[in-house]
A = this chain, B = another copy of it.
Amino acid sequence: MNDALTILRRCGIKPTPQRIAVVNYVLKSTTHPTAEDVLDHSRKKCPTVSRATVYNTLNLLAAKGLLKTQVLKEGTVVFDPNARQHHHFIDDDTGVIYDIPWSSLAVSGKEKLRDYEVREYQVILRGRRTKRK
């Protein structure tokens, strides 16, 4: 795992304490945090960081392809540090969003869709995560 400073420099984004705090949380996250989640956690390292800066930084990272915004929750977008193609499973009870590897599922029939030029797609599944022992 590269550190935040290296990542920001490699993308041509000037590193600031605020941006470093945001990157350190969101790119290492294994969940799908909302902007509010990122704000809360970033303030532990950088207590004065503002909501606007968090949004600016997250949108900058998304524009650079380091993360992807996903429309999976009602009312708010979530930020996904896994920017590669994959599917999602959403737990009915908890709302937790799980990544499903791209290779786990196959979708057939896309090529037959006339009138639609598909740029990207994903399967969204909902249900319950079974108890693990």
Contacts and interface: CB of A to CB of B under 8 A. Distances in A.
Interface of A: 71-77, 89, 92, 98, 100, 104-110, 112-130, 132
A96 to B, nearest CB: 12
Contact of A123 (B123, B129, B132): B123
Main secondary structure of the interface of A (DSSP, over half): strand
Contacts of A122: 123-124
Contacts of A121: 123-126
Nearest to A92: B119
B115 A130 contact: yes
A71 B77 CA distance: 10
Given A100-B113, A125-B120, A130-B115, A106 B107 contact: yes
